[in-house]
Amino acid sequence: MFKPNFRYTNKIVGNLTQIAAARELVLNSPFIPKWEVSLRREAIIRSAHSSTAIEGNRLSLEQVSDLAQGREIMAARKDRQEVLNYLKVLQSIDKLTDGKKITEKDILRIHKTATKDTLENPSDCGAYRNRYVIVGNRLTGEVFFRPPSNEDVPKLMKALVIWLNSFEAKALDPVIEAGVAHYEFVRIHPFIDGNGRTARVLAALILYLRGFDTKQFFCLDDFYDSDRPAYYRVLQGVNQNTLDITKWLEYFVEGVKVSIAAVKERVVRLSSERLRKAKKGQIALTERQMKIVEFINQNGRITNRDVRDMFKISDRAALKEIRKLVDLEVIKAEGKGRSLIYVLA
């Protein structure tokens, strides 16, 4: 029977309060529909980049973005495939389970998709490990962590899944449940490879199923990738005799707070008072138009040259984008000739 060992600290409670407030602001903002699509796409791309980068993938954020848009890139086959796999998992998060419950079959399927065509032994994809692994530095031989034996993996995973679907788990804040699941999964280390990626997908799936991030606006993996040594240090710092994960949860909850704060800041910039009070209601803008509005919110104004440089387009094409926004009464012109600028209407 799995029962997580942790306590609520002032840091955890304070951060959960800030997370709830920021989340409400984000989800209740009067989003323009196409902005929602853009925010979701960007969050998925950043998650795919960060989560695979933590485990050594060498693709840049720009390359991951190109792959997400179906473009060809020059990269090592394994790096490319890892990212494509992760993108596929995140883009189909609403189909990873048959309902509100998470089963072992779901987890095995997630791992199989996330590691397809990337492991030395294809039979290891979507299958619990049948040989022992250690977590360490391959170059120095230093051992960071020794997971449970192969024989213990099935019963430990069964216990974790039972807990995930229990009343006790659902009574917790979704962020706490996701943090507990993330750590316990990594501790069990049920697969030969791909455990970290699968653990992070599992955490994201829990937040999705619990209604915390149904729109997939939040990229949690950026926080881990920004300081990988800290991520591993906190994971490895849990006492294996007591399995007290309080410190890990403090770190995990802080990561969620930082991630949501980043989204909130952007939402505040995008949702200007002028657009919120637009008499015509919501105005559907293209991604380029959205970036122009965001630029004005940040800088107070924009010029034709700014638009041209932003998108690497001609003067005529830039003026065309600007005129669309003027016609929609989102922006207006001020000044003349070389002093001509555009501000929010």
Angle of CA points 67, 71, 91, to nearest 5°? 40
Confidence of residue 271 (pLDDT cuts 50, 70, 90): low
For strands 135-136 and 143-145, give the pairing. antiparallel
The secondary structure of 280-296 as a DSSP string is T------HHHHHHHHHH
Give the range among 120-129, 135-144, 178-187 with minimum mean pLDDT. 135-144
pTM over 0.85: no
Identify whether the C-beta of residue 255 lies closer than 8 Å to the C-beta of residue 224: yes
Residue 272 has pLDDT above 70, yes or no: no
The average pLDDT across 37-60 equals: 90
The predicted pLDDT at position 197 comes to 94
Angle of CA points 276, 279, 283, to nearest 5°? 65
How many Å apart are CA 254 and CA 276, to the nearest integer?
31
Torsion angle, alpha carbons of 95, 100, 104, 109, to 10? 0
Residue 316 has pLDDT above 70, yes or no: yes
Give the range among 132-136, 164-168, 254-258 with minimum mean pLDDT. 132-136
Angle of CA points 143, 121, 233, to nearest 5°? 25
According to DSSP, the residues that pair with 334 across neighbouring strands are: 341
The predicted pLDDT at position 63 comes to 95
The secondary structure of 48-72 as a DSSP string is HHHHHHHTT----HHHHHHHHTT--
Residue 139 has pLDDT above 70, yes or no: no
The average pLDDT across 301-321 equals: 91
CATH of domain 10-270: 1.10.3290.10
The predicted pLDDT at position 277 comes to 52
Give the range among 8-12, 214-218, 255-259, 278-282 with minimum mean pLDDT. 278-282
Which is higher by pLDDT, 121 or 32? 121
Amino acid at site 263: V
Domain residue limits, the chain: 10-270, 273-344
The predicted pLDDT at position 105 comes to 97
The predicted pLDDT at position 15 comes to 97
Residue 282 has pLDDT above 60, yes or no: no
CATH of domain 273-344: 1.10.10.10
Identify whether the C-beta of residue 129 lies closer than 8 Å to the C-beta of residue 190: yes
Confidence of residue 137 (pLDDT cuts 50, 70, 90): low
Residue 298 has pLDDT above 80, yes or no: no
Identify whether the C-beta of residue 203 lies closer than 8 Å to the C-beta of residue 182: yes
The predicted pLDDT at position 329 comes to 80
Coil vs helix vs strand at 311: helix
Question: Which of 310, 186, 174, 296 lies closest to 248, judged by CA?
Answer: 186
Question: Which of 14, 38, 50, 49 lies closest to 175, judged by CA?
Answer: 14
Residues 6+ apart with CB under 8 A from 159: 1, 2
The predicted pLDDT at position 149 comes to 95
